[in-house]
Amino acid sequence: MGTKGTATRARLIDGARELLEAHGYAGTGLNQVLAASGAPRGSLYFHFPGGKDELVTAALEAAGAEVGAALADLAAEAPDPVAFVQRMIDLFATRMVESDFTKGCPIAATAVDAAATNDRVHEVCSRVYASWQRELALRLTAEGRAPEAADALAWSALSLVEGAILLARAARSRTPLDRARASVALLLKDA
């Protein structure tokens, strides 16, 4: 694929990512993706012959990898797992506030919307969340936690963060994220 083709594919993925994060799977149509990306209709099926599901999975994988890379950086910089999760919350809170509460977690809206009924989407959402959980579990294990305890705590912390994102979007307020930020200290320090 040439440079122009690579750029067009990337624009389609970026357009889908933006729309999926704000509107979920059902609220994201291919015509909207084409309008957001500025790509010609023929390019959509050239780059994604599997249609919407193929484009959605590529967009979710790209979003998951981007957040995963940011989390790896945060894990390397944070002095302890509590600070790591608090910085993770700050990352999502910043995205949410800057977008006037239309964004937050790039996977959540689609996971809630389609993962239960669409196996391809479910697989990607599950894989992305598991990769984020592993990042935290590795940090907890490095701190000296037993692997099983680290694994369970990491899932609990991720659940706390994702739940706070959902509540913050629903309330159009960062208060649930701020409360989660305080709660994660209790969860990880006392366990």
In a domain, 36, yes or no: no
In a domain, 23, yes or no: no
In a domain, 14, yes or no: no
In a domain, 35, yes or no: no
pLDDT tens figures, 83-106: 999 999 999 999 999 999 999 899
CA dist 81 and 184 (Å) reads 9
* CATH code of 163's domain: 1.10.357.10
pLDDT tens figures, 145-166: 999 999 999 999 999 999 999 9
Residue 84 near residue 139 (C-beta atoms within 8 A): yes
Range of the domain at 143: 52-190
What confidence tier does 124 reach under pLDDT thresholds 50, 70, 90?
Answer: very high
What pLDDT score does 191 carry? 53
| Segments in 24-146 forming alpha helices (H) | 30-37, 41-47, 52-77, 81-98, 108-114, 119-142
Least confident among 110-114, 119-123, 149-153 = 110-114
What confidence tier does 46 reach under pLDDT thresholds 50, 70, 90?
Answer: very high
In a domain, 63, yes or no: yes
In a domain, 154, yes or no: yes
